[in-house]
Amino acid sequence: MQRPKIDDKLTLQADFGKTDAICVEVLDNPAAEEGVLLKVMARGPFEQGQQVWIVGRDGSKVGATVENVLTQTVDREVTLSTVLPA
């Protein structure tokens, strides 16, 4: 899975099912070597510390941890911490 860009559409899979997300920010994660912080806008009952999957277009999955959730109307700004394979 390639590093997403701003405005890329992502599919997230969590214990409540799949949901679409839009990438709004991509940052290097200083806490993890080769780590990435993704800020996405998504709908769903996300909680800090929750484990989710980022599903690639080819069906591959990369695990991520919800670091922060900020509610804005019906959408939530969710910060995900992950390490993307090269």
Rg (CA), the chain: 12
Considering the domain boundaries, does residue 25 fall inside one? Answer: yes
pTM here?
0.87
What's the mean pLDDT in 29-37? 85
Considering the domain boundaries, does residue 4 fall inside one? Answer: no
Range of the domain at 27: 9-83
| Element housing 81 (H / E) | strand 75-83
Considering the domain boundaries, does residue 2 fall inside one? Answer: no
Compute the mean pLDDT over every residue in the chain, rounded to the nearest whole number. Answer: 90
Considering the domain boundaries, does residue 78 fall inside one? Answer: yes
The Cβ-side half-sphere exposure at 68, using a 13 Å CA radius, reads 8
